[in-house]
Amino acid sequence: MRVCVIGTGYVGLVTGVCLSHIGHEVICIDNNEEKVKLMQSGQSPIYEPGLSELMQSSAASGKLTFSTDLAKGVQHGEILFIAVGTPPLPTGESDTRYVEAVAKGIGNNLSSDYKVIVNKSTVPIGSGDWVRMIVLDGASEGSDSTPDISFDVVSNPEFLREGSAVFDTFNPDRIVLGGNSDKALAMMSELYQPIVKRECAEDKSLPPVPLVLTDLSSAEMIKYAANSFLATKISFINEVANICDRVGADVVQVAKGIGLDSRIGSKFLSAGIGWGGSCFPKDVSALVHTADDYGYNAELLKAAVSVNRHQRSIALEKLQTELKILKGKTVGLLGLTFKPDTDDMRDAPAITLIEELNRLGARVKAYDPILSQSGSSHGLSGVMIEADAEMLADDCDAMVLVTDWQEFLKLDFQKMHQLMTNPLIIDGRNFLDRSNLESLGFRYIGIGH
């Protein structure tokens, strides 16, 4: 099938590359000329495991192209994905101006050929009908009569994890399609058949991927409800961890014990310094804002946000307990990104830690496997980015593990112990080998652990 993906952020680029890999003819559109030139040269603008290799092979086969020409993309695609950003506004609601601009641009360039317009961006509930209205407005511009166009709008929310986005695309738990047109839903079902049939899955013996066919509003709600539930689950185990710290229990063992309950499950029960990134904060806030709009006080979701906000101060509290006055102390951060296997710093807990440590007069250093390679400050202030973990350890009064990168398990902690002024480690993800670190002479402190 012929596909156009508008927007080449994490979701758009991964979607376009993966759809081209399973045989569709895909053109990715972006209004950033430098970014498009970079992708045309075979380089990915984002770090995502496996993405660059698939992008290069699909481009070489002619299945994947990149352009700034929206009209060309609309003309090419039978299916048009809107995959632009919807960042949060100060009020908590989503900023949909980019979706609106793209929808109007699609309308400007529609012909009589039937199109399926797909909301891949995370948009407010009810946006399907709104996008249809904007497309029609765009199609009517400059015309005195009703334009001869034919299209339907479908909601197809994404459930990708940054750092695992390619794997998740080919191995989804489900594919959600919301719409009011049988024709549009049938075309979308056909588009995803290679994925539904597990043709690209690592384990091809698995049963077909479930297709959830529903209405527009329910599909949009599924996205918000899923992310809000996961965020709440993390905040719950973090609250349990804080109680564990006070009563002498071990949250790692508690999480194992409750996670074996099939009604609960073990995923998203890792206590730490809280969630961040582009999805959880934005989606929970947007759902709370929607509830407020309709006169409902979403107390549980507001509590999940409050617990997460407080959780970022836990590492600081532990540093103050151990070091007392932080002014004049040197603190090293192991990891900066909000999660491993990504270069994304959006709403990362590290940002809060850096700001608060600076406010308290500490000197802050950091090492991150991806961000340290570029040699830039990545827009961060008040932190010295070190080239490796040993340089980070040198002269530190304490280190805080912020991001659970797998390579941190293999660091030379014996040498790092020798370089530190005070061998204290705050493990913000309960990730490191406590017994090994303590045998080397470290003072190890986890979260509820």
Q: Is 279 a catalytic residue?
A: yes
The label of the residue with tokens 């101060």 reads: 313
The architecture (CATH level 2) of 312-445 comes to: 3-Layer(aba) Sandwich (3.40)
CATH 1.10.1040.10 placement within the chain: 223-310
Name the nearest CA neighbour of 59 among 29, 30, 26, 14. 26
pLDDT of residue 234: 97
Secondary structure (DSSP) of 289-301:
HHHHHTT---HHH
186's CB contacts (< 8 A; 6+ apart) are: none
Tally of CA atoms within 13 A in the half-sphere of 433 that contains its CB = 15
User: Could you read off the pLDDT of 331-390 as tens digits, one per residue?
Assistant: 999 999 999 999 889 899 999 999 999 999 999 999 999 998 875 556 789 999 999 999
CATH 3.40.50.720 placement within the chain: 2-214, 312-445
90's CB contacts (< 8 A; 6+ apart) are: none
CB 415 within 8 A of CB 255: no
53's CB contacts (< 8 A; 6+ apart) are: none
Residues of the chain with pLDDT below 50 are none
| Two structure tokens written together for 298 | 């979403």
CATH classification for the domain delimited by 2-214, as one of 3.40.50.720, 3.20.20.70, 3.90.550.10, 3.40.190.10: 3.40.50.720
CA–CA distance, 377 with 296 (Å, rounded to integer): 42
pLDDT of residue 122: 85
- At what angle are helices 280-293 and 216-247 packed, to 10 degrees? 110
| CATH number corresponding to 223-310 | 1.10.1040.10
CA–CA distance, 47 with 228 (Å, rounded to integer): 25
pLDDT of residue 79: 98
Q: Give the active site residue among 18, 28, 244, 279.
A: 279
pLDDT of residue 362: 98
pLDDT of residue 148: 82
